[in-house]
Amino acid sequence: MIVTRPPMGWNSWNTFGDRINEDVVKETARAMVDTGLRDAGYEYVVIDDCWSVHSGRDENGRLIPNPEKFPSGMKALADYIHSLGLKFGIYSCDGSHTCAGYPASFDHEFVDAEQFAEWGVDYLKYDNCWKPSMIPGRVLYNKMALALRATGRDILFSACNWGTENASEWMSSVGAHMYRSTFDIADSFESVKDLALGQIEKYTTTGYNCFNDLDMLICGMNGKGNVGISGCTMDEYTLHFALWCFLGSPLMIGCDIRNIDEETLALLKHPELIRLNQDAETRPPYIVHKNAGNCYTLFRHLENGEYAVGFFNLNDEGQTHARFESFEIGMTVGAPYVLEFTNMMTGEKQIVTEYKNYFMHPHTFELFRVKLVRK
């Protein structure tokens, strides 16, 4: 299986935690269609931890879905999701137990992969709790990759080891299609900032067929749900989404889509931001300039001879002077071209010859699609 763009979908954990069941999943899948999120590119419906029984496996060593939560079984649920033109995802772990203490896949990798394939699973999130300390993570993730491939079914392998054991150096080589490089996100701007700052200066380890995953989106949670804390302002959610799109992170919605507000829905469907995230070249950005504190000017190569420039101010107080100077991307005044900047949020165009300055308020951003234009 080859994954050419950052995966997009919905994951149950941020809102529901262990309060997941087949009605919630079906209603969410239906809402993804009715709201237009499926048509915007969100295709995976992923059940996170807590879907099985606590007591263990059956007499054949197979996992047992909780019959109270999923009375129709996983195969029927997968069939329903597929009937809507969506794909079905599930969760396990490389240790003896999942992070919430349910049976996991250590030493059962091939049995579990076959079971997932029989159910019609299209996506496996594979966590890192209760991992045997004497076995390298690369061995355990490679083993599950082998098991998934052996089924003959295309199953996206979403590794989640939180960036431990220098994962960015080997995740692509063990068959992961995306890998969680951070610990869990929470519904606060402080969490968004911490995750971004932990990865932004080493984000060159992402791209085609192995995408660096900054964790699920919190847009629209508004302090509710399983990871709800303080919530964010709409401007902060917008920066969060825009930054994840600029960096090329997978976009996995975490809010309750069944009750999503119109402003959040419009943000998650924003055509220019999704176009940026799903750019076919899948190239990572580089840091043009680190301004005062935690304010970054970023540059990224895009398809069709275009580029992106983003100013992201993660500082918490005061105004920050953010700058872009054309020579920092190799454009000198003697070049036969100037830069045409198009604001991705407003559509406004302007020509930049040598530099661009912003005095940015905390938790704000400016984002541009850029073309070279002959003088």
Q: Which of 213, 273, 218 is nearest to 242 (CA)?
A: 273
Instruction: Tell me whether residue 107 is one of the annotated catalytic residues.
Output: no
Structure tokens that stand for 335 in this block: 């070049």
Per-residue three-class SS string for 212-239: EECCCCCCCCCCCCCCEEEECCHHHHHH
Cα-based torsion angle of the residue sequence 88, 94, 97, 103 in order, rounded to the nearest 10 degrees = 50
Instruction: Tell me whether residue 184 is one of the annotated catalytic residues.
Output: yes
Dist CA 366 CA 74 (whole Å)? 44
Structure tokens that stand for 186 in this block: 């929470």
Tell me which of 49, 127, 187, 256 is the catalytic residue. Answer: 127
Dist CA 64 CA 71 (whole Å)? 11
Rg (CA), the chain: 21
Structure tokens that stand for 344 in this block: 């991705």
- Buried b / exposed e across 114-130, counting CB within 10 Å, b at 16+? bbbbebbbbbbbbbbbe
Helix (H, G, I), strand (E, B) or coil at 364: strand
Tell me which of 18, 79, 154, 184 is the catalytic residue. Answer: 184
The catalytic residues are 127, 184
